[in-house]
Amino acid sequence: MVKKDQQEICDSIAKISPYIRFVGVIGESGELLAYKRRTDLVPLLNEKNTQYQFSHIAIKTDLEGFFDKNLGEIEFVWEERKKVQTISFAIKKSRVWVSIDKKVIRSEMLRIIDACLPVVKKFS
């Protein structure tokens, strides 16, 4: 996936909802390849912890591949945490990671997921 496509993914997903805090494309080694952050907020993770988070996503993506043959490939993962909600999508060996405001109702989360899927599929 070329850099232009990675940035297009971030820009397209960031426009889906005003509740999206951050969109990043993470490479298979945990490197941040492209991103878009909402301008009006302070990040929840500092730079070091952000890198740990992305490395964790890369390791988890690699491990999940072992189950693809039996369970099918992962379409998305949705996590609810105390301060934020995240969804991630696989595109080949990369991940698109999206963080969303915690107070978003579930129907809006499902709308965001449904709107992200065509963007992800376009580049898969």
Over residues 80-102, the mean pLDDT reads 91
Tell me which amino acid residue 37 is.
R
- Rounded Cα gap, residues 50 and 69, in angstroms: 31
- Rounded Cα gap, residues 63 and 55, in angstroms: 12
Q: pLDDT tens digit string along 8-56?
A: 999 999 999 999 999 999 988 888 899 999 988 877 766 677 776 777 6
Architecture per CATH, domain 3-123, reads as: 2-Layer Sandwich (3.30)
- Rounded Cα gap, residues 10 and 8, in angstroms: 5
| Domain boundaries defined on the chain | 3-123
Q: What is the pTM of this model?
A: 0.85
